[in-house]
């Protein structure tokens, strides 16, 4: 299975900050890398697909980058509603796998 | 507007079989642009892909579940279902159904989740 190593596991930031979450795949996954946001008690919500494509309706402060095995999610100008948990997901090959999540906390 | 509505029990006994259903509204499950998947989430293992149902009815499963899983479809009711046999406490999780978009393979819509507890 492809292992997805997400870091950091938690991150403290202030409103207005720019933050970056990284995800490393154990082997190349081309551009089959997606990012989700999850609020407590809710299902994950798609933010970014295919490394850098913004899902419809998602604010433009969210962006994705990377290639091969190294990827990043950047939130510029963090807003109060962004302090939740984020997951990366590889869909290059089954079994699809996810990172263990990054919890964004208010500093 | 696409909606995935899950139904099924929240408590199942060890060694028994879990059956969950995902009712799809706002899209045809037989359309050719999506797969229909099950995913589960635990505090310990995080998000785990269980398996996929293709628009043609073929399936793919996570080998980690060792042949205990079956995903099936009922096109007449636009629903797909999950069966997981020989349950143990390690199968306690929140189970989600989700739509996988072809050919970029992302989950663009999820069910509300069902907390399944395996306990006697």
What was the pLDDT predicted at B56? 82
**What average pLDDT does range B95-99 have in this prediction?**
98
Per-residue model confidence (pLDDT) at position B55: 79
Q: Do B47 and A98 touch (CB under 8 A)?
A: yes
Which of A92, A96, A98 is the closest to B46 by Cβ?
A98
Q: Residue A43 is nearest to which of B49, B52, B96, comparing CB atoms?
A: B96
pLDDT tens readout for residues A94-104:
999 999 999 99
> How far away is chain A from the Cα of B77, in angstroms, using its nearest Cα?
24
By the 8 A CB rule, do B93 and B84 touch?
no
For A3-61, how does the pLDDT look when each residue is reduced to its tens digit (9 = 90+)?
999 999 999 999 999 999 999 999 999 999 999 999 999 999 999 999 999 999 999 99
Distance (Å, whole) CA B50 – CA B34: 16
Tens of pLDDT along A70-80?
Answer: 999 999 999 99
CB contacts, 8 Å: A42 with chain B = 113
Q: Categorize the per-residue pLDDT at B32 as very low, low, confident or very high, splitting at 50, 70 and 90.
A: confident
- B84-113 burial: b if 16+ Cβ within 10 Å, else e: beebeeebbbbbbbbbbbeeebbbbbbbeb
Nearest to A95 among B62, B105, B108 (CB): B62
Q: A80: distance to nearest CA of chain B, Å? A: 24
pLDDT value, residue B57: 86
B110 near A CB under 8 A:
yes
Query: Across the interface, do B101 and A49 touch by the CB < 8 Å criterion?
Result: yes
| Torsion angles phi and psi, residue B71, rounded to 5 | -115, 130
């Amino acid at each position: 299975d492809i292992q997805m190593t997400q870091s950091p596991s938690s991150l403290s930031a202030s409103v207005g900050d720019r933050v970056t979450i990284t995800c490393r795949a154990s082997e190349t996954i081309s551009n089959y890398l997606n990012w989700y946001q999850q609020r407590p008690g809710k299902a994950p919500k798609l933010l970014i697909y295919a490394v850098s494509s913004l899902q419809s309706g998602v604010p433009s402060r969210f962006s994705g980058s990377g290639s091969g095995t190294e990827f990043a999610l950047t939130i510029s100008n963090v807003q109060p509603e962004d302090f939740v948990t984020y997951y990366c997901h590889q869909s290059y090959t089954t079994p699809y796998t996810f990172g263990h999540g990054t919890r964004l906390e208010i500093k | 507007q696409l909606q995935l509505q899950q139904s099924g029990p929240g408590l199942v006994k060890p060694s028994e079989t879990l059956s969950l259903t995902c009712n799809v509204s706002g899209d045809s499950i037989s359309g050719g642009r999506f797969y229909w998947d099950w995913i589960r989430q635990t505090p310990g293992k995080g998000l785990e892909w269980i398996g996929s149902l293709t628009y043609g009815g073929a399936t793919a499963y996570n080998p980690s579940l060792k042949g205990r899983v079956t995903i099936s479809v009922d096109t007449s009711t636009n629903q797909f279902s999950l069966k997981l046999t020989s349950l143990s406490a390690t199968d306690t999780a929140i189970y989600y159904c989700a739509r996988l978009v072809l050919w970029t393979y992302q989950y663009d819509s999820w069910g509300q989740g069902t907390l399944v507890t395996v306990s006697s």
